[in-house]
Amino acid sequence: MKKIIMMSNVILTLLFLTLATLLITALVVFLNGSDVLNFTHANGTRLWIGLEVTGSWKSTANTLSANSFNTMTWLALPQMLPYIIINLILIRLFMLYRQGLFFNLKNIQCFKWLGGLLILQFLFVAFYPALLVTLLNMFTGSDLKRAVMIQDTDIISFIVGLIIYVIAWIMKQAQQLQQEQELVI
């Protein structure tokens, strides 16, 4: 039990650090209007905080930037949203573990949310760029090319989401069996 609580504290620290990094990056991109913020110290130390559109959205980002659309606003920030939510769900789950709660309804709900979010993220990653380009074409009169692109990492995230959702369902069934067993004399 102590090992689980100790590891939960370590993981929580890393999750909070990751969440802070994601939020700072989103804030920098949103407020600065640039994809990179540079800090340079007199001793030559450089620090930069930045964001880049990657993966299956890269070709859409190239198309948008070639036509003077801000890829950070239209693609990078929406691409970060699922990661922020995943971090929040994991923080909630490991807070429960830290409290010694392992197989209760709150944990099961975290697993359902996590699995469901990974499944929804797959759909979002697959269809958002094409939907965005369609809407931009409609409202701006531009003629941007649409594409639905799915990479192997997107498919893996979808499968992991399904597995996590099934694990949540199994945990719920086990929890119900345990409750029924406690009622039997």
Query: pLDDT tens digit string along 17-59?
Result: 999 988 988 887 777 766 666 677 778 777 776 677 777 788 8
Residue 144 per-residue DSSP state: P
Structure tokens that stand for 115 in this block: 């699995």
Residue ranges per structural domain of the chain = 2-183
The alpha carbon torsion through 100, 106, 107, 112 (nearest 10 deg) reads -170
Which has more pLDDT, 59 or 10?
A: 10
> What values do phi and psi take at 50, rounded to 5?
-150, 175
Structure tokens that stand for 95 in this block: 């807070």
Contact yes or no for 144/67 (Cβ under 8 A): yes
State the pTM of this model.
0.82
Q: At a CB cut-off of 8 Å and minimum separation 6, what does 11 contact?
A: 90, 94
pLDDT given at position 161:
96
